[in-house]
Amino acid sequence: MSASLPKFTRQVKCRLSMAYLPFRRELKSMKMRLYLRPSSTGLPYKPTDEPYDINFAYPLNLDILQTPKIKLVPFIPSVHAVPFYAAATKTPETMRFIPFHFTKLDDFLVNVVGPFQASPDYPLLTIIDKLKLEQGAEEKDCIAGVIGYLGLSTMRRSLELGPVIVLPEYQRTHVSTHAIEAAMRYILEVPAQGGLGWRRMQ
């Protein structure tokens, strides 16, 4: 009897795994629908002096969200939307593998920026090239791309990194490596060093 237990256990695990598979696929589908849900409210993209609510549930330490070559700042539509959209749509291949599709600025704000701003768990950050900024350029002319966080789980202390969009001008440069490094350090570094002290990113 005892000799057959391992085989029986494997069979039970296999059957449970197969039974769970459709549920897991549906859960993944639900997660993607949640990520891509449209926002019902418009977002301002014209310059304004009004404060912008980044709507993030955790302390955002901008000191750790940077390296000597780039810095990550909250994506503010009135500051970053127009220059990012203009640069991203100049080359269609930029958005080829991104599950966000837009043909005009309003679509980009509602279907891409909107879902991030609507949820306190999904921050969208702008990648700023500090090297170009230090040469005297304005911040709006130093936008190198965007990077965000998805699927934050306080219980598991884990999340997903995405989207990561680097504009064509900055591809195959320091930008991608440094942006991902800063984003990961903020999540994984201990709170005493300015991070959240979480366990896992994917």
List C-alpha distances in Å: 46 to 109, 122, 182.
Answer: 12, 23, 29
- Residue 31 exposure: Cα atoms within 13 Å on the Cβ side: 14
Give residue 173's identity as a one-letter amino acid code. Answer: T
Instruction: State how beta strands 158-166 and 70-74 pair.
Output: unpaired
Residue 20: per-residue pLDDT: 44
The CATH code of domain 70-201 reads: 3.40.630.30
Sketch the domain layout of the chain as residue ranges.
2-35, 70-201
Has residue 131 got a pLDDT over 90? yes
Instruction: State how beta strands 200-201 and 158-166 pair.
Output: parallel
Question: Tens digit of pLDDT for each residue in 75-102?
Answer: 999 899 999 999 988 887 777 777 767 7
Q: Which two tokens stand for residue 30?
A: 């639900």
Question: Tens digit of pLDDT for each residue in 138-161?
Answer: 999 999 999 999 888 888 888 899
Give residue 83's identity as a one-letter amino acid code. Answer: P
Residue 23: per-residue pLDDT: 41
Contacts of 199 (CB under 8 A, 6+ apart): 156, 157, 158, 188
Pick the range with the lowest mean pLDDT from 37-46, 62-71, 81-90: 37-46
